[in-house]
Structure 1
Amino acid sequence: MSTSIVHYYGAQQSKCGYCGGTKCSMSHGMHAYLLACQDYQDLIDRGWRRCGDYCYKMRNKETCCTAYTIKSNALKFKLSKSQKRVLRRVNRFLRDGKREFKLDAGEGDGEDDACDASGAPEVTVSEPQPQLPDKRPAVINVDQIASLARAQKKPTKLVAAPTSEAPSVEAPTLGSNKSAAPISNKPCKKAKQMRLERRQAKLGDTASTTTKSLSQEKSLRDFLTSDSETNKHQLKIVLVASSDTQRTCADAVVALYRKYQVTIHNDNPACITLSSMQRFLVKTPLKNEKSLGAPEMGYGSFHQQYWLDDKLIAVGVIDILPSCVSSVYFFYDPDYSFLSLGTYGSLREIDLVQSLAENVPELKYYYMGFYIHSCPKMRYKGKLSASYLLCPETYDWLPLTDAIRSKLDEHKYQRLNADANARDVNEFLMEHLDDVRLLLGVNNFTYYKNYNQLSDSENEMIIEYSKLVGKVCARRMLYVNIV
């Protein structure tokens, strides 16, 4: 395993990409020259995220938009109705080539941008909501129906109930020439009764198979597996290592990224260059690690390229780590927004986790970045089933429940773990300081206890850094001490 080499910058202050505030986003920053995949796994389990070579951890008690690391257990994941609709829509498009722009209410909420590594807010791409026809039944006067039913049994004169708008009107009797209306109601009632009986019979016939039907509910894999040979369009997803720059920096990728950033994020086209894309999405401190027990492609940074026939329509940037697939960023062709590609990409990444877990059982989580409850556009991440939030104090995982949502409604910063006695098991204490490793030069490192040339400010920085990364990483990673 490679040795991680990092340089800690300390507290940072910048414009918030979520609320748009100026210099109100508070974080800790760190440049990673090299990160072992296990070290990065441990870091994101303490609230760190990466953007290219830059790693950051939000100062949640101070920042404007409190950010909680969120993950989903892919092995316990269950599809929601809206997710099934997205999958069916994509499958119909692949099969028939028909573009469907009709979205159900709430389906487009933030789902078209899967990640937030840049710190930029997720953008909602909302299609116009169709006006549904009014299918409410007409208002029926129950008393009048009862009167008509009695009239068919006893030929007496029926009088409509008087109202304030109109005088009493004489109703037709069975023996008069005006008896057509009540007579015509009789077969209508029978027909209604017959339909009700047929419905009850049908429900009775299917009751015995209800349990069987539930047990055969289609899984995510079922939706993603189809007879593609007969489809009008072919969708192919190719996994490419980030280091393969011939493919991750190909003209088609750069053009797609530029189109997405300009259309969805309103970026200045002049600022979107190959080098800016590389710095953000291609460069990575993670080196591809292949070892016994690792997945076939190894651990590291990858791109999932979505090819529709011969056209690149989406790219998912991911990190494959010892316990998870971590979503870094997702961009797509805005011309295909009707496919809800943000949601579809997330489901594809969950399917990747499920596939990897078949051979690497501990790799079973899908990390979605940050959940920001105070930002409505970001709450869609919490809609994935089997989701957990990281407690910012004890660094253990709590199921994202309605109770936690209610707490976050009251105050944006919460400890999450209600157990006041719970502690961070990876807490860095001063007794661990002597074991912190310092990089003094090329191939020259020493332990803190052996180095006595640190100023007071340098000592404070090392202690702060060690507490933020935890005792395990503080002892294992190399801290670059720039004098």
Structure 2
Amino acid sequence: MEMNTSSNSGNNNRGEYIVSDGVRLQDSCSYCKSAGRTSIFHGSWADSLTVDDYQDLLDRGWRRSGSVLYKPEMEKTCCPSYTIRLRASDFVPSKEQRRVSRRMQRFVDGALEVKKSVEAIEDPSICASACNEVSSLGPKETSSVLKKEKNMGDHITDYLSEQVNKVIWTCRESGQIPFSVQLPKASVKKVSQSKTKLLVEGAENLMYSSNIAFQIAATIRQAQSIAKDASQSAEDNPLSPKIISEKIAASLDQLVKINGLSIRACNGHINFYTAATQTSPNKDSHTATSSQESAIGRKGCSLRNSSVHPHGKRRRLEIHLKRSSFDPEEFALYRRYQINVHNDTPDDVSESSYRMFLVDTPLLPVQPSGDDRVPPCGFGSFHQQYVIDGHLVAVGVIDILPKCLSSKYFFWDPDFAYLSLGKYSALQEIGWVKENEVYCP
């Protein structure tokens, strides 16, 4: 199929683009891992395509994977996918998003240590034991130690959330939780001492908790209620929050070794307990001397092992925007990401599949024209590289179009998981759009 139309992005002729006839396809689903061909969509192969025409297709529900254009049959496919559209000029960051930005700034300033933070995350007992010892030598010292404890606590909750999500995926693969629904991400929160006093006996050691079982149960009920062939009532669903939390807690206890923390399900909640009672920094708290602070350091909460590193070396964060092309360093990072984060087998992550998915593009590049209609980088397909001190840590695959920035995929170095690079990249992309709205209002 060939079409010739006019352009409005930098030149007055869109030129020729070539797209093969579309077909209706059925395939296995990479989201719910269904055994049958339950993913239903229309697909076409594009040899070349202008950014204006792809923008029009995007606005009509089409997307691209490499040079393949596809549009899901939303009413029939097993896992409908919805594009998240955001008007960048109206965006206001949430508290969590601001926290991600501040964490990255601390990291760049040398206040967040890479290796030592990872070591602490791998052994949450470090903070469970050592961070109970809070210095009360003076307001300044106390504030410093409390800041260290807070930062370490953030890393531990991130780590626990990641482990819970991995176990949920394992439960789905084993059939304990149905594959047919898109489940929410788990979040583990630190439990304040004021709340633990209101709980049942034994809760004085409760440190962290997650309510993901309630969210999963609600998602399953909602999916059943809107399914056309759903005939069972809510009472027919055996997966109550209590049962789900018990399954997850049991799997966590078997599959994940978290030193210093025990895991139990309690009335639908997944709780993490310490062996010793948590103390608070009041007048009855333990007072740490300078020698005791050194001992704390050996356990993991001093500057040596904690996330706080006031006098650390500043780091250089660079974000490079380059046209889509194969880069061996990017492929090595992608391969490591897919294997470690998504549990792909090495055989599944080939160079050819990577090229087809994230390098190949039918979009005809538009070079900057010097006027106010094209941004300085031009239009087309790009890879946005995040480089820290010369080391590639993440790559965002994006299409820059006349009316939007389309974010296709993002992969990152698993060693930097605690920086929440996915969230950080989204904030950077929003910022880029705001800066370039003058060219594409």
Interval containing the TM-score (normalised by the shorter chain): 0.5 to 0.7
CA contact (8 A) 1:82 1:107 kept: no
- 1:239 counterpart = 2:321: yes
Shift of 1:10: 1.1
Distance change (3 Å), C-alpha of 1:136 and 1:16: closer
Partner AA of 2:81 in structure 1: A
Uncovered stretches (5+) of structure 2, i.e. residues with no partner:
1-13, 118-151, 166-180, 199-311
- 1:225-304 matches, within 5 Å, as 232-242=314-324, 245=325, 249-290=326-367, 291=369, 292=371, 293-304=373-384
Task: Give the direction of change, closer, same or farther, for the CA distance of 1:250–1:134 in structure 2 (3 Å limit).
Answer: same
Report SS of the residue matched to 1:338. Answer: helix
2:236 counterpart residue number: none
Q: How does 1:205-216 map to 2 (within 5 A)?
A: none
Residue identity in the other structure for 2:439: V
Counterparts in 2 of 1:83 and 1:122: CA distance versus 1, 3 Å: farther
Residues in 2 aligned to 1:70 and 1:125: alpha-carbon distance in whole angstroms = 17
Between stretches 67-76 and 265-274, larger displacement belongs to 265-274
Q: Tell me if structure 2 keeps the 8 A contact 1:34–1:286.
A: yes
Pick from 432, 437, 441: which aligns with 1:352? Answer: 432
Question: How much does 1:272 deviate?
Answer: 1.8
Match of 2:32 in 1: 19
Q: Work out which of the residue numbers 67, 72, 94 in structure 1 matches 2:108.
A: 94
Whole-Å separation in 1 of the counterparts to 2:356 and 2:320: 22
- Alpha carbons of structure 1 residues 137 and 271: separation in structure 2 relative to 1, 3 Å: closer
Letter in 1 for 2:316: Q
The structure whose RCO (Cα within 8 Å, separation 6+) is larger is 1
2:193 to 134, 138, 151: 134
Aligned amino acid, residue 360 of structure 1? Y
How do 1:404-415 residues align onto structure 2 when only pairs under 5 Å count?
A: none
State whether residues 50 and 56 of structure 1, in contact with CA within 8 Å, keep that contact through their aligned partners in structure 2: yes
Q: Is residue 402–residue 440 contact of structure 2 (8 Å, CA) maintained in 1?
A: no
Q: Aligned-pair distance for 1:352?
A: 1.1
The 1:3–1:122 alpha-carbon spacing in structure 2 relative to 1, beyond 3 Å, is farther
Match of 2:76 among 62, 73, 93: 62
- Contact 1:26 1:62 survives alignment (8 Å): yes
Corresponding residue of 1:153: none
SS of the equivalent of 2:54 reads: helix
| TM, length-normalised to structure 2 | 0.53
1:26 alignment partner, SS class: strand
The verdict on how the C-alpha distance between 1:105 and 1:80 changes in structure 2, with shifts beyond 3 A counting, is farther
1:35-50 to 2 correspondence within 5 Å? 35-50=49-64
Structure 1: distance between partners of 2:319 and 2:92? 22
Distance in 2 (alpha carbons) for counterparts of 1:57 and 1:356:
29
**CA displacement at 1:234 relative to structure 2:** 1.1
Q: Which residue in the other structure is 2:250 paired with? A: none
CA distance in 2, matches of 1:298, 1:353: 13
Alignment of 1:284-363 (within 5 A): 284-290=361-367, 291=369, 292=371, 293-357=373-437, 359-362=438-441
Cα separation, partners in 2 of 1:8 and 1:83, compared to 1, 3 Å: same
AA aligned opposite 1:273: S
Q: Distance in 2 between matches of 1:323 and 1:347?
A: 18
Q: Does 2:157 match 1:80?
A: no
Instruction: Tell me, yes or no, if the aligned pair for 1:30 and 1:56 is still in contact at 8 Å.
Output: yes
Distance 1:288 1:130, change over 3 A: same
Deviation at 1:232, TM superposition (A): 1.7
SS at match of 1:67: coil
Identity %: 41
What is the CA–CA distance in structure 2 between the aligned matches of 1:251 and 1:123, rounded to whole Å?
34
* One-letter amino acid of the structure 1 residue matched with residue 347 of structure 2: A
Q: Is the 8 A contact 1:123 1:264 kept in 2?
A: no
Letter in 2 for 1:275: S
Quote the RMSD (CA, aligned, Å).
2.8
| 8 A contact 1:125–1:337 mirrored in 2 | no
Counterpart amino acid of residue 60 in structure 2: R
1:27-85 deviation per Cα after TM superposition (whole angstroms, max 9, x unaligned): 00000010100000000100000000001001111111222222100011000011111
Whether contact under 8 Å (1:9, 1:30) holds in the other structure is yes
1:69 is paired with a residue whose SS is coil
Q: In 2, Cα distance between the equivalents of 1:124 and 1:341?
A: 19
Q: Is the 8 A contact 2:319 2:384 kept in 1?
A: yes
Distance 1:97 1:23, change over 3 A: same
CA 1:80–1:103: 2 relative to 1, 3 Å: farther
Instruction: Assess, with a 3 A threshold, how the Cα gap between structure 1 residues 130 and 250 changes in structure 2: closer, same or farther.
Output: same
Q: Distance in 2 between matches of 1:75 and 1:107?
A: 32
Structure showing greater Rg: 1
Unaligned runs of 5+ in 1: 111-120, 140-229, 363-483
For 2:317 and 2:412, the matched residues in 1 are separated by 14
Q: How far is the alpha carbon of 1:125 from its aligned partner?
A: 8.0
SS at match of 2:426: helix
